[in-house]
Structure 1
Amino acid sequence: MRKLIVLTLSTGVLLHAGLTDFKTIKEANQAYEAGEYSKSATLLKGLDAKSPQKQYDIGNALYKDKKYDEAIEAYDKAEGIDEATRLHNIGNSQFQKKEWDKAIESYEEALKLKEDEDTKFNLELAKEQKKKEEEQKKQDQKDQENKDENKEQNKDDKENQDQKQNKDQKDQDQQKQDQKNKDQEKKKEQNKKENKDGKKKEDKKQKEPEKEKSDAQKEKKPQDKKGDKESGQPKEQKKMSKEEKLQEQELKRLMKKMQKGKTPTMMYQMGESKKGERNEDAKPW
């Protein structure tokens, strides 16, 4: 940027300034050279003299103190100073505030009044900064749009992921339910089969006593086999001694006689004979 004018007061102001003002101006210049710009501006504001040079010098001190708004106000009051120089410094203050359009306008006005290489350089620099800022804004806007788009995409992705997880969970639940139904159906069929088998066993168990009963009845039924007149009697009864058989035959014969009314007188004496001995006097009928 163009180098600012060193703090000085015009010859007209010095002629009318008193000893005190002269001393204050000297201190203000010394403070300015020492980099104490705020002190320099304060000393200049305390001068009684009113002139465009004073406002211009105050503007320079405030500019160096980075108080650009106050500097512009001071430059605006410095009418009467070389207009191109004043507009150049106003443009510098606007440049520092990044007010590119205003700075460009001030530089262009200054160049209309007077050609100056520093002013041209600052003008091009202001245009370049403006272009960069606009590109940066576009880039920021694009980045924000991309960010919003990514955010929306992430939101959609999350929703899709949630939907997928919900679907997978539903499928898993359905599979579990289907398996549970299959297990229940299988168990039901198994119980049905077991009940059926149990019923068969129970029926078979009930039929077995009937069969045993029937077999038992068949065993108790007398056999009508030829030559077996004593069927159905215990085997013990079949095994009789020869004498017992003879006695039984004799008893049957006597019973037949009784039925015909011819009861023998010696009937009761048969049982009194000793076992195994035959009465020789007894005569059979």
Structure 2
Amino acid sequence: MTNFPQLGFGTYKLEDRDECVSAVTTALDVGYRNIDTAQMYDNEEYVGEALAASDVPRDEVFVATKLDTSNLTAEAVKETTKESADKLGLDTIDLLYVHWPLDTYDADETLAALDELYDEGLIANLGLSNFRPDQLEAAIEKLDAPLFAHQVEMHPLLQQRELRELADEHDHHLVAYSPIARNQVADNDTIVEIAEKHDASPAQVALAWIMSKGATAIPKASSEAHIRDNFAALDLELDAEDIAAIDELDETNRIVDFDAAPWNHA
């Protein structure tokens, strides 16, 4: 598989130009080499500015973006992916996701257009996001190109066991957004206890747990302190007892949820 750092930097809600450029620049300075954005975030141009201004070589940074749900017809996939590449300042987008299988998503049309972009080299890898297990398997069956990643909400309070198993079965990365559950992990006694044991933050424990499962965590942060705190999760080694205690948490606390979400229409 293409080198894909297991801890990435998310840019959701970084809609202000100065804040976004500063945050991404800081993340790159700290050591992040996996940057995640989306058409829906309205900040691809700002991410591109930060990438261009950074001293980090382009080939050392893995850049992912996602197609808006209104841009999933064949024509829109091709047109807006080129626009995203231009905004990001990239000849090739390392990873392009279908953000949600909603609105203009049509499995045959959308996925065929992605295959074309992959064959043309505009995108190096294909991704899906927020797909139900049945939708995921159907898409994998239709795609000619290999599926590289599936991005979903995942954290100790929403452990996504079935999707982790499918990632292993089909040999793609599972990528976790909202990996600290908007810091609700800090209210969980088990996670707080483990954090205290290791002199770490609850956020670091959540991120380390995700990585221990072989998944990739994409925390979003805007302040330098939080950007650095999250990155330090790479130095935290949870022991088997810690991991087992988190595994036993029996919670299904979904942060991102709305009536039209795929899992509400199984």
- TM-score of the superposed pair, with normalisation by structure 1: 0.22
Structure with the higher strand share, 1 or 2: 2
User: Which structure is larger by alpha-carbon Rg, 1 or 2?
Assistant: 1
More RCO (CA 8 Å, sep 6+): 2
- TM-score of the superposed pair, with normalisation by structure 2: 0.24
Structure with the higher helix share, 1 or 2: 1
